[in-house]
A and B are shown apart, each in its own frame.
Chain A
Amino acid sequence: MFVGLGRRRLSTSVGDGVLFGICLAAAILAVVVIGLIAYEVVAGALPSISRFGLGFIGHTAWRPNFYIFGAGTFLYGTVVTSFLALVVATPIGIGIGLYLSMLAPRAIRGVISPLVEMIAAIPTVILGFWGILVLGPFLAKHVEPWLHSNFGFIPLFGAPQTTGSSVFNATIILTIMIIPIVASLSRDLFLTVPGELQDGAAALGATRWETIRGIVLPSTASGVSAAAFLGLGRALGEAIAVTQVIGGGNAIHGSLFKTGDTMASRIALQFAGAENALQTASLFYLALMLLVIGVVTNLLAQVISGRFGQQAAFTR
């Protein structure tokens, strides 16, 4: 169909060829950029990779003065904050998705849906700033003491700190960031569940919740988990807001109320003031780990959603 019938004027074939050429070039550029990013990050990390090898990933010391670097502390911080945030945000996000797709009257849905998406639009630097000045003091004064005195037997809820900068604060900020992602993607998924299946369930004397649990959630489970993975990817890579509220530090603490650090946050905080080339390379190494984690969570989300033919919901 690209080749017209009969005589084709020169301008046609040249024009079409040029258009095709520049479109193809742009598409190739988009693919190549990913390779270029990977190359550049690996190249920057090489000195650190050759010095520390894979041991870097688990090693917990970070002493620029002694040329000793390890990602362990930050990997721990990243994993703890992101997973806790995911565990809290996923059910809340699904609940919002259910409310917006199945419970809310149409008019209310039209108002609340964009509001939820607005949360995702708040720049993380503002969220982090709010975390320092508003959320942190509130947590330190009210929430942390309460959790400590009631659930103090769980090591996660240790003695409250005075500053408010803590792993706990970072976790809540990340939760706020993930919720709208899970909420809007799962809302779109729930809306794809055919009405006739919901009618079929209702005609069998099922309550709305039974329909949701028995019909809607099982048929969208793969897509919802893909949404959670996308949210997780977002949390794992968030640098700014976490830097602002987590407090920094080189030690792993059992208590959520103490300070900590994540990989992305460490890069943001130390890159400009790196003391030596090896430190810069080690920060590149952290970025490489983030890149790998980002690609893996993204591919997992694509595979999970793609395999079950729910890709449509993920093209924004």
Chain B
Amino acid sequence: MNTADTLAGTDRTRAIRPRVRLQTDTPAGQTVPRLPGDRPHAESPVGEAVFDVQDLTVSYAGQVALADVSLKIHRNLVTAVIGPSGCGKTTFLRSLNRMSDSIPGLRIDGRILYHGHDIHGQGVDRVEVRRRIGMVFQKPNPFAKSIYDNIAWAPRNLGMKTGLDERVERALRSAALWDEVKGRLRDSALGLSGGQQQRLCIARALAIEPDVLLLDEPASALDPIATASIERLIRELKREYTIVIVTHNMQQAARVADRTAFFSLGLHAGRQTGTLVEYADTETIFSRPVDQRTNDYVTGRFG
């Protein structure tokens, strides 16, 4: 089960399309528009590892939530984390940028190396970690500010004050929201639709030029059309960013991710805890998983 960190993507895997890909969430008659040249499942030239997670164990108040996870997350790829609820997906994601730090009684063992630097190392401040590793949450959480100020707030904090208007526009364009909001930047962000709010949250994260985007079930609160636009956006964004997405929706993982990690509940020291079962190219996970549990899950016999 440990890092099945093999370079997949041979001719063989390319021939077989994962069958789940055919079942989309979109309503009848709608198809997810594809970008020209977009090949989410093509063999990806696996570049340098952005994250090197080593034996990560997370426990809350003595209860182990996630045990012994080791994997590498690579640059400019979309990495999906899937698995049944309670398997520690979100716990895993939130430990990557130390978002879980503030939870009382939390304990993290093992190491998370980010570009070779331990994110819990000496002299590391979590504010700096989060500044480089952005996060978008399950429920859109725009601030009760104008659309413009939602985007401009973090750059202002960071002292990126010159060319703020251009920065806001760039962020909104990158999040494919510019055309919809350019005429009403001073309006409250709370007036946007759910899907627009979520893209605003992505734009907000992009405005400070992070390295990595962590997406925690970013489309789970959205309707199918909004979901499709978020997925389109994710595929677009990986050119510039490294993306890790947690999703409970296997089809979504199949549509957007280059690599997929399957987490499940397993016995660890006599207790049910989240563990990493299998990690490989998305096509491998969905068509020829090595582990029986993965196979059960992706074929719908489990969870």
Contact = CB atoms under 8 A, between A and B. Distances in A.
Interface of A: 105-106, 194, 196-197, 199-207, 210, 214-215, 218-219
Contact of A199 (B99, B127, B153, B154): B99
Contacts of B157: 204-207, 210, 214
11 contacts: A197-B143, A200-B141, A200-B204, A201-B143, A203-B97, A203-B135, A203-B205, A205-B132, A205-B208, A206-B157, A207-B127
Given A197-B143, A200-B201, A203-B205, 10 more contacts: A105-B104, A199-B99, A200-B143, A203-B97, A203-B99, A204-B208, A205-B131, A205-B157, A206-B153, A206-B157
B107 interface: no
B149 to A, nearest CB: 9
B134 interface: yes
B128 interface: yes
Please tell me the size bucket of the interface on B: 20 to 34
Nearest to A193: B144
B297 interface: no
A196 B144 CA distance: 12
Contacts of B145: 218
Nearest to A209: B157
B120 interface: no
Contact of B139 (A105, A106, A196, A218): A196
Nearest to A211: B157
B130 A196 contact: no
Is the contact region of chain A dominated by helix, strand, or loop, or is it mixed? helix
Contacts of A210: 157
B134 A203 contact: yes
A200 B137 contact: yes
Given A106-B104, A214-B153, A205 B137 contact: no
Interface of B: 97, 99, 102, 104, 127-128, 130-132, 134-137, 139, 141-145, 153-154, 157-158, 201, 204-205, 208
Contacts of B99: 199, 202-203
Contacts of B144: 218-219
A205 to B, nearest CB: 3
B128 A205 contact: yes
A190 to B, nearest CB: 15
A246 B204 CA distance: 55
A202 B131 CA distance: 9
Contacts of B141: 194, 196-197, 199-200
B130 A203 contact: yes
A230 B159 CA distance: 38
Nearest to A204: B154
Nearest to B131: A205
Contacts of A202: 99, 102, 130
Instruction: Name the 5 nearest CB pairs between A and B, nearest first.
Output: A205-B131, A203-B135, A204-B154, A200-B141, A196-B141
B170 to A, nearest CB: 16
A202 B102 CA distance: 10
Contact of A205 (B127, B136, B143, B201): B127
Contacts of A197: 141, 143
A204 B130 contact: yes
B153 A204 contact: yes
A215 B150 CA distance: 10
A62 to B, nearest CB: 50
B213 to A, nearest CB: 10
A215 B144 CA distance: 8
A197 B104 CA distance: 19
A106 B132 CA distance: 30
A199 B130 contact: no
Contacts of B136: 203
A305 B143 CA distance: 20
A194 B144 CA distance: 11
A197 B153 CA distance: 13
A204 B158 CA distance: 10
Contacts of A215: 143
Contacts of A105: 104
Contacts of B104: 105-106
B137 A206 contact: no
A255 to B, nearest CB: 44
Contacts of B201: 200
Contacts of B137: 196, 199-200, 203
Contacts of B142: 200
